[in-house]
Structure 1
Amino acid sequence: MKQHEQVAMVKRLLALRETRRDERMLDEVVTIPVSKYTDADLLDRELASAFTRYPLVACHSSALPEPGSYVTSDWDDFPYVVVRGDDGRVRAFYNQCRHRGARLAAERTGSVKNFVCPFHGWVYGLDGNLRGITRAHDFPGVETRDYGLAELPAAESGGLVWVSRTPGAELDIPGFLGSFHDDLVTFDVASLVPYKKTKVVKEANWKLLIKTYLEGYHVPYLHRDTLAFAFKRGVIAYDQDGPHIRLSAARTDITALAAKPEREWRILDGVSVYYTLFPNTFFILHPDYVSINTFWPLAPDRTVWTHEMLYRAEDFTGSAGQSGLEKRFRFTNDAVFDQEDFAIAEDVQRGLRHGGADHHVIGLAEGLLAIFQDTIDARLTAPHDTMTGRPA
């Protein structure tokens, strides 16, 4: 988001504050069947489409600081390892020895010179090539060149590392994200420093969890003791690019920003900017820190949720800075996300088991819920470019 685009967005939000209404998203009230959150066959189709045909966020670039640094998957259904090679390039492989399938990297993160199988000691280089077979004389005719690790598409772009479940695919992340890739570059996401990451299983559908982020209607009620003050008289404007959504939410301090000359306007000084990076990442830009949330389905009513907070090093220095980071993390991760947003989502999911209604009613201010749902549904059957998510 270039500076002139930031100014234009602030003006959009200031105009909406005058009307005390969010930007219009729907022309009418719509409904969403509750089967979207309970149907096992539908989840299988989502996994085969949204989670297989498109790039997925693996981590922030800072997780791979040097050659040999690696990160493993948070999702057992997609057991990859991403590693930075001696040439600086990021590569991804199935985290499985080609001998008898043992997991090579057991820890979530680490650093190695080579991957050594813990089962029988086969050795693989950072480029995935098989370097050595123990007791090679027991494998006559087996050539190391034929048994390198199974490689997966991987790319590093916009400060994030991406992987795909489609072997052989060419990843074009700028093309996939469109104008939102420019946002990641403009906001210098690559320079962020990691603070803390959590991984929790939530008893709710992956879409139900993401949708808690996509409307401000609930803020004065669910978040009355947490976020409500920061977003008093808050309004929302949104943009779409391909399958992705950008949601800009005015904070209370936008009025102080508006008092400055336009040339000094920086959107994060008065606005929090949220992105759904299709299909399962929710990326939140605050003035001094960033939250990356990913949602990995286990079942229609169970999801792995990961949350990583990153920050700008110059904004949090010394012990006082670290104390401030911890306070922000507890507030964001524990109080807002876990105990409010996702606790209510789990409560909703429990209720779905017992009937009472076969659909949810979506009001005009909740239009992004329907837009996000339609984006997922459209890719179940309609042909789309598998690397950009746009109509083929």
Structure 2
Amino acid sequence: MKRDQQLALIERTRRHIDARSTEREPGCFRTPVGLYDDPAVLEAERASLFRRYPLAIATSDRIAAPGDWITHDRTGVPILLLRDADGQARAYLNACRHRGARLAGPPDGRPTGGSGARAFACPYHAWTYGLDGRLAALPHGHGFPDLETARCSLTALPVTERAGILFVTPSTDPAVDADAWLDPILTDLENWGLQGHVAHAPKTPHIAANWKFQMEGSMETYHFRHAHRQTIAGMFFDALSVFDRFGPHMRLFLPKKEIREIDPAEMQDPIRIAGNLLYVIFPNTIVLVQPDHAQLNIVWPIDPGRSVVEACMMVPEAPATEKARRHWERNSDIFWAAIREDYEMMESMQSTLRSGANADLVFAEFEHSVRWFHEAMAQAIGSTPAYLRTPERAGAA
């Protein structure tokens, strides 16, 4: 975010503070509980959102040098992500073009990685592929007289590398051009210089709740005063956020109480002191920009009632001293103390869905970013699903 944009956002937020208001859209928004536990809904989401759209897979430093590689299966598609000899990130379906065995990683799809690779040989029959995906060798090639080796390259997937994050579209039939789709939000995010950051303190928490509960919980501060009263509530204003849309993506500004005291004109990046910026990269990625680092959380569905997060801090450099390690550990502890409180509430909500207590879940006018999220999902899936309700005012039938 450029400096003039930061100053405008701070001023916009201060007006709300002075008026004791917040941004909102007219009318409550409702979603039926089946949206969070119906296998058919998740199947539709997987077929579209998690297959045909660009998804964050890892930070760039995971494959920092030529020959570095990782495997990834959270999308439901086996992906081999690597850095080629020219330093370009490439992604392929992790399947041999002979009989389909995995080229890298264990058969069960557990994530793994390595470095210094020059080629990948299938463990079944040793068909071998270069980092450029081309078939480089096959034993007893004379036995395949009709084989067009030029057509036996690994199946390539679209890759975009921006803001220190690697995005892969896990389909040969993408729904969008990844660069154009991501550009509006990533251009804003790149202004924070995350391109050179490295992953630190990775975590993969499993949550007994639908993946959308995690996304929705990041899109509002209405819950801070109560759910986070023991941790971060005192740092922020009650139910106050400022929202901006970038196509299907969003940026939320969560002002801290320091915003009333600082003089933005005297600061290089005042917005990072005035509050936290939370970027929602549709459909399942959250980047929280804090004063000296960022937190990356990528949310993946396991089944309708369970999800997993691939998370890490993005720090300017790997900590080389005990002082630096303690600094990042304190930051991590504060973040995860609050997130664990969120997870408890999400698991609590999931546990009551089938009780009959609620037919719908309701969102306030100032939780309108959740509405935006569901509207973007409906559009991406290709039709307006039954669960996308017409906005209703509080108290309506």
TM-score between the two structures when normalised by the length of structure 1? 0.89
- One-letter amino acid matched to 2:195: A
- 1:336 and 2:335 equivalent? no
Matches within 5 A, 1:14-93: 14-24=14-24, 26-75=25-74, 77-93=76-92
The gaps in structure 1 that reach 5 residues or longer are 384-392
1:288 corresponds to: 292
Q: Secondary structure at the match of 1:235?
A: coil
CA contact (8 A) 1:292 1:309 kept: yes
TM-score between the two structures when normalised by the length of structure 2? 0.88
- 1:160-182 residue CA offsets vs partner (Å, 9 max, x unmatched): 21111231659744521343222
- 1:190 and 2:213 equivalent? no
Q: Secondary structure at the match of 2:280?
A: strand
What is the rounded CA distance, in whole Å, between the counterparts of 1:353 and 1:85 in structure 2?
Answer: 49
2:389 corresponds to: none
What is the rounded CA distance, in whole Å, between the counterparts of 1:294 and 1:349 in structure 2?
Answer: 20
What is the rounded CA distance, in whole Å, between the counterparts of 1:348 and 1:282 in structure 2?
Answer: 21
Percent identical: 31
2:390 corresponds to: none
Q: Secondary structure at the match of 1:96?
A: coil
What is the rounded CA distance, in whole Å, between the counterparts of 1:88 and 1:213 in structure 2?
Answer: 34
Q: Secondary structure at the match of 1:353?
A: helix
- 1:242-296 residue CA offsets vs partner (Å, 9 max, x unmatched): 1011100101222332x35266452111110111111111111111121111122
- One-letter amino acid matched to 2:2: K
The offset of 1:138, in angstroms, is: 4.6
The offset of 1:16, in angstroms, is: 1.3
2:184 corresponds to: 179
The offset of 1:127, in angstroms, is: 0.7
What is the rounded CA distance, in whole Å, between the counterparts of 2:5 and 2:269 in structure 1?
Answer: 10
CA contact (8 A) 2:225 2:238 kept: no
CA contact (8 A) 2:58 2:165 kept: yes
What is the rounded CA distance, in whole Å, between the counterparts of 1:176 and 1:219 in structure 2?
Answer: 31
Q: Secondary structure at the match of 1:99?
A: coil
Call closer, same or farther: CA 1:40–1:168 in 2, change over 3 Å: closer
Q: Secondary structure at the match of 1:67?
A: coil
Q: Secondary structure at the match of 1:118?
A: coil
1:254 corresponds to: 259
What is the rounded CA distance, in whole Å, between the counterparts of 1:260 and 1:328 in structure 2?
Answer: 24
The offset of 1:240, in angstroms, is: 0.4
1:357 corresponds to: 358
Q: Secondary structure at the match of 2:349?
A: helix
The offset of 1:89, in angstroms, is: 1.4
Call closer, same or farther: CA 1:195–1:74 in 2, change over 3 Å: farther
- One-letter amino acid matched to 1:356: A
Matches within 5 A, 1:220-369: 220-232=225-237, 235-257=240-262, 259-261=263-265, 264-313=268-317, 318-333=321-336, 335-337=337-339, 339-369=340-370
Call closer, same or farther: CA 1:353–1:221 in 2, change over 3 Å: same
Call closer, same or farther: CA 1:84–1:168 in 2, change over 3 Å: farther
What is the rounded CA distance, in whole Å, between the counterparts of 2:208 and 2:155 in structure 1?
Answer: 33
1:2 corresponds to: 2
What is the rounded CA distance, in whole Å, between the counterparts of 1:75 and 1:369 in structure 2?
Answer: 24
What is the rounded CA distance, in whole Å, between the counterparts of 1:268 and 1:10 in structure 2?
Answer: 10
Q: Which moved more, 1:128-137 or 1:9-18?
A: 128-137
- CA RMSD, 1 decimal: 2.2
- One-letter amino acid matched to 1:23: E
Q: Which moved more, 1:273-282 or 1:168-177?
A: 168-177
What is the rounded CA distance, in whole Å, between the counterparts of 1:123 and 1:178 in structure 2?
Answer: 35
Q: Secondary structure at the match of 1:253?
A: helix
- One-letter amino acid matched to 1:36: L
The offset of 1:27, in angstroms, is: 0.5
Q: Which moved more, 1:100-109 or 1:6-15?
A: 100-109
CA contact (8 A) 2:10 2:271 kept: yes
CA contact (8 A) 2:3 2:268 kept: no
- 1:47-86 residue CA offsets vs partner (Å, 9 max, x unmatched): 2222233211122222221111112214161211111111
CA contact (8 A) 1:152 1:168 kept: no
CA contact (8 A) 1:178 1:242 kept: no
State how many pairs are aligned.
378
Call closer, same or farther: CA 1:201–1:228 in 2, change over 3 Å: same
- One-letter amino acid matched to 1:357: N
CA contact (8 A) 1:94 1:150 kept: yes
Q: Secondary structure at the match of 1:367?
A: helix
Q: Secondary structure at the match of 1:313?
A: coil
What is the rounded CA distance, in whole Å, between the counterparts of 1:146 and 1:312 in structure 2?
Answer: 42
Q: Secondary structure at the match of 1:287?
A: coil
2:122 corresponds to: 117
What is the rounded CA distance, in whole Å, between the counterparts of 1:158 and 1:371 in structure 2?
Answer: 24
- 1:228-250 residue CA offsets vs partner (Å, 9 max, x unmatched): 12214572100001101110010
What is the rounded CA distance, in whole Å, between the counterparts of 2:239 and 2:192 in structure 1?
Answer: 22
